[in-house]
Amino acid sequence: MAILNKIRQRSLILILVIALALFAFVIQGVIDNPNAFSGSQGVVATVNGKDIDRTEFQQKVKNYQDRAGGRISSTQAMNAIYNQELRNIILTEEYEALGLSVEKDEMRDLLKNSFQSYPEFQDENGNFDVNRLNAFISNLKDISPDSAPLTSAGQSFNINYDIWTNNEQSIATNALQQTYYNMIKAGVSTTIAEAEDEYLADAKNVDIRFVQIPYTTIADSLVQVSKSDIKAYMKDHEEQFKADANREVVYVEFKEEASKEDEEAIKTALLKLKSDTAEYNDSSGNTDTIPGFDSVTDVAEFINSNSDIKFNDTFLRAAQIPAVAKDSLMKLQVGEYYGPYRDGEYFKLSKMLAKQQMPDTVKVRHILIPFAGGQRADASITKTPEEAKKTADSILGKIKSGTKFLDLLELSSDKVSNEDDGEIEFAYNAGMAPEFKAFAFDNKKGDIDVVGTSFGYHIIEILEQKNFNDTYKIGTLARKIEPSQKTLDEVFNSMSKFEIAAKDGDFTELAKERELAVKPITFKELDENIPGLGSQRQVVRWAFEETTDVGDYKNFPISGFGFIVAKLVEKNEEGLMSVEDASVSALPEIRKEKKAQMIREKIKASSVDEIAKNQGQSPKTAAALTLKNTTLAGAGVEPKVIGAAFGLEQGKTSKPIDGEKGVYVIEVTKVTEATELDNYTSIMNRLNATRRGAVQGKVYQALEKAADIEDNRAKTVY
């Protein structure tokens, strides 16, 4: 008690101490990361002064991923929403500047165009009824956040008021966008002079004689290129050599893979399952015999209890048997085994359970009684599953009592098959409901019964079965090939020892000693993928952290793979590429320029024939050249050469021309002028259509390029 009293007396002091400690922790965080409490942490991006809020952005990303059903990564979803938000802000500014908006009457027409095919918004004659639309929206608002069913193209789905309003906004936005682009397209046109040029570029042609002195006539070793040459070339072509900030990383892999010892243990465990085993029973004090695969009576339960893949209680056609063991399995007699064998990432032990002749194709007829909530059931369906089953049983009873099947077809909701007397013909591999398919293939011609599926209850009669072939029921015990705990520990220890050794040793040499491949990769700040490892944003984030320096290394767990140890080897900030990186594309072009100058200096003659003779080349000819086709026969794509040909008069010879493959001198031997047209309207119309078709993409690209964008994605949501 004395101790407790002292604590109570000093409680104020303890509170002050804790408060000071927390304050120191916060201050240290600000020192280590000065942006931690800045406004930018809550802003994904700022576009022309307008912020994209982080919380709203992440909610949109989540909704986008939910709609995609897990088919895209979080980074892909973030990029998609970012581009969408960027576009909305940039284009909304344009709409506001022009005074564009969607008025009430226009919105009503837009909604009609979008939803007139939905049965919920149609009257008894199938015509669009705006009152039903308004009632539906009003109901959604009243029951929010709950949802109501809606049907489109036979598919039923649920929608709530928030989703509806977002959808309305999208419709309005699309309409504004279309109006905006139509206004721009209306201002795009072609002049008669442009149409004439377009015509002449294809109709006028020239014939030439030419000599080409290829750049390959001068060896690369004779052309000296310095760093200053590369820098000068980069300066003259800055746009080509601009680079985003990036990080160069090398890494080694430590894979968590099953060892040979692990694989043998898995195969041994599978083989042990064949035989009965004795097991002491603590409760009874007796030794029980546990049936193995050889003697078990309930095969399904045995396989489901001992296998990583559940029992498939169907007869398989030859095409359905795993290719890796197909021939061996088909040769088995009933009761015989094959395996253990490897099939992908599993070892399998298979037993032939039965063989049977079965059809490949069946024809049935059916009556479908759907229930509310069933697949493709529209809003008009109100029966519960129990009521649908009762109705189906009643129909089956009538048929068995003598009522003709066809006389009851009007009770079926499958209007498509009803047009063919309710008949459906399909193969065993067709995409039918599994219960429907099982009844049709596992029973005999003439059998009839009620079968339940996700669509409802079907009264099915088998009319015909064709193309009988051997089928096989195979029981397979499968074990996934996974590393043992011993192997996992060894992989972790190897990774840890490498990481410790890297502190004082050479990363590459250490990897070489351990026979590990050193893999290089370069990322930009918003990248996520490492080839062979998938999305690894954790590595990218680490490489771009301000506290990560060149030479730092770190291990990263990789889901379903193991570990990597990565080392940062270079930081490259936004700007021009390094001379080394730029040299890959700059060096060939600089050599080409230097070779062109050397070749020009060697040309002393003025005619094609003399130059060809002096340079050890043969003169060539090219006929019917046009400005539309920049390919020079016998030389390749040479736009400068062909352009020069159209700038010469007949009989004239050009000065040396630096082309793509060499230096050229050309002589125009014939000019064939184009016949003037009386009317260029058709060409003008074609050019107008082409130019207007390209407007949408080019206009937005120009707007985005001109926008003031501060992108904080890497710091806020990535």
- DSSP state string for 197-213: HHHHHHH-EEEEEEEEE
Helix pair angle (104-115, 161-186), 10° resolution? 110
Both tokens of 188, joined, read: 């795009």
Kindly state the DSSP code that residue 41 receives in the 8-state scheme.
G
492 contacts 563 by C-beta, under 8 angstroms: yes
Quote the CA–CA distance of 671 and 208 in Å, as a whole number: 9
Q: Which residues of the chain have pLDDT under 70?
A: 1-41, 153-154, 717-718
Quote the CA–CA distance of 651 and 88 in Å, as a whole number: 59
Both tokens of 274, joined, read: 């064949």
Q: Which residues contact 658 (CB under 8 A, 6 or more apart)?
A: 592, 593, 596, 600, 640
Report pLDDT for 551.
Answer: 95
Cα within 13 Å of Cα(218), Cβ side: 22
Nearest to 240 by CA among 526, 582, 584, 639: 582
At 614, which helix (H) or strand (E)?
helix 608-614
Both tokens of 675, joined, read: 């016949």
Tell me whether strands 620-625 and 534-535 are parallel, antiparallel or unpaired: unpaired
Both tokens of 487, joined, read: 């192997």
Report pLDDT for 39.
Answer: 46
Q: pTM for the whole thing?
A: 0.63
Question: Which residue type sits at 33?
Answer: N
Quote the CA–CA distance of 662 and 599 in Å, as a whole number: 9
Helix pair angle (74-98, 681-706), 10° resolution? 110
Give Rg (Cα) of the chain: 38
Q: Which residues contact 414 (CB under 8 A, 6 or more apart)?
A: 366, 367, 368, 422
Q: Which residues contact 525 (CB under 8 A, 6 or more apart)?
A: 244, 245, 246, 540, 544, 714
Tell me whether strands 448-453 and 205-214 are parallel, antiparallel or unpaired: unpaired
Question: Which residue type sits at 364?
Answer: V
Cα within 13 Å of Cα(227), Cβ side: 4
SS3 44: strand
Both tokens of 301, joined, read: 């339960």
Q: How far is CA 271 from CA 258, 274, 297, in A?
A: 19, 6, 18
Per residue in 254-271, pLDDT (tens digit) is 999 999 999 999 999 999
Nearest to 437 by CA among 405, 460, 414, 466: 460
Nearest to 633 by CA among 231, 207, 271: 207
Q: Which residues contact 232 (CB under 8 A, 6 or more apart)?
A: none
Both tokens of 466, joined, read: 């064709």
Both tokens of 705, joined, read: 């390029």
Per residue in 321-355, pLDDT (tens digit) is 999 999 999 999 999 999 999 999 999 999 999 99
Cα within 13 Å of Cα(672), Cβ side: 13
41 contacts 35 by C-beta, under 8 angstroms: yes
Quote the CA–CA distance of 422 and 415 in Å, as a whole number: 8
292 contacts 274 by C-beta, under 8 angstroms: yes
Nearest to 129 by CA among 112, 109, 142: 112
Nearest to 581 by CA among 202, 231, 158: 231
